[in-house]
Structure 1
Amino acid sequence: MQLQNSPERYGLIAILIHWLVAVTVIGLFALGYWMVDLTYYDDWYKRAPDIHRSIGLLLFGVMLLRVLWRAVNQNPAPLPGHRRWEVISAHLAHNLLYLLLFVAMISGYLISTADGSSISVFGWFDVPSVTGQVKGLEDTAGTVHYWSTWAIVALAAVHAAGALKHHVIDRDRTLRRMLGM
């Protein structure tokens, strides 16, 4: 399999980044959903948010690489059987997913750094606050983070449903191209 995309198919790098981001986002959402109900006396009360923040910041780096890779790499052409509205809606959904992912990651970062503290990424390095202490930022960023993550999950479900529709009903190569087949 080629590393770069071609007019007919996705390359290995695009495929690996796509699935890495998809699995990571699902995992972060599940972890975030679970950890908000932890109590102070729970063993995971501090550990779960630390893991969530660390993975979220690493995902931010992966998404920056993904945007760069996408900018210097052609996307495969739509399949001949795709209707115009499908091509346009897929393009809009992808762009909205990218935007929502960055909104979620930036708002998550702002939640944790609103008090001026840095974030330790698995103890490997620290990401400093760029805002310093900002009163009320944590609450505003928390609201944005909450709704953007739910929007990501909803849009990703529509995205997955579209891929399955192409695979099961239309019986075209849309899903197989992202599976490297």
Structure 2
Amino acid sequence: MHTHRTLSWRGNPGQGFGALSKGLHWTLAVLMIGLIWLGWYKTGLDYYDRWYHASLWMHRVLGIIVLVLAIMALGWRLVSPRPGMAPTIRWWERIAARTAHATLYVMMVALPVVGYLISTSAGDPVPMFGGLEIPAWIAVNEEARNTVVAVHYYLAYTTAFLVVVHILAALKHHFIDRDDTLRGML
């Protein structure tokens, strides 16, 4: 018997997620992976390289977009019930999944905020697209800036690690456990 699944944008129906949850998840996933790669790429560029300033601008803009989408996703998560986990998932996997998800959300907010502090540390606004700018609300001294840069660095590597773990866990559930964890987000 063929079962027809409907895609609802308003909620998370049955065993899967709704269209809005899926859209936010996959958009944030692509942006986060892109930002991790772009951050790594730009650190290898010389200040006078023709791609340095373009990659820095793109990194800042995408970071702000991630911040906005992460706040939207958090808000949506608060008002939209999540489908339950597969009954075969062990107690420690449930704790690990909840901890990893919560930490990823913290990182998707913290990394752009810390990046904003780096970008505006000299008191200059963050240039966006179309001539828009995000004003500098806080200027910091060089020592504080260096600390914020170090925090951004460690948060970025922690986030990269969590993204890899998240992907591996999804693949494990799909190919080894053969449950619907990954299918629920497709």
User: Partners of 1:110 and 1:41 in 2: how far apart?
Assistant: 23
Partner of 1:56: 63
Partner of 1:44: 51
User: Partners of 1:159 and 1:45 in 2: how far apart?
Assistant: 30
Q: Aligned residues: percent identity?
A: 36
User: Partners of 2:107 and 2:48 in 1: how far apart?
Assistant: 33
Partner of 1:142: 149
SS of the residue 2:104 aligns to: helix
TM-score (norm 1): 0.94
| CA displacement at 1:124 relative to structure 2 | 4.3
| CA displacement at 1:40 relative to structure 2 | 2.9
* 1:171 equivalent in alignment to 2:175: no
TM-aligned CA distance change 1:124 to 1:13, over 3 Å? farther
User: Partners of 1:173 and 1:29 in 2: how far apart?
Assistant: 28
User: Partners of 1:86 and 1:40 in 2: how far apart?
Assistant: 44
SS of the residue 1:150 aligns to: helix
Considering only aligned residues, what root-mean-square deviation do their CA atoms show, in Å?
1.3
User: Partners of 1:133 and 1:168 in 2: how far apart?
Assistant: 49
| CA displacement at 1:6 relative to structure 2 | 2.5
User: Partners of 1:39 and 1:114 in 2: how far apart?
Assistant: 21
Segments of 5+ residues of structure 2 without an aligned counterpart are: 1-6
SS of the residue 2:127 aligns to: strand
- Shift >4 Å, 4+ stretches: none
Q: Deviations over 1:92-121 (max 9, x none)?
A: 110011112222111111110011111011
Segments of 5+ residues of structure 1 without an aligned counterpart are: none
Q: Deviations over 1:36-80 (max 9, x none)?
A: 121233111211101110111111111111111111110101112
Q: How many residues align?
A: 179
* 1:32 equivalent in alignment to 2:39: yes
Alignment partner of 2:118 out of 111, 134, 139: 111
Partner of 1:91: 98
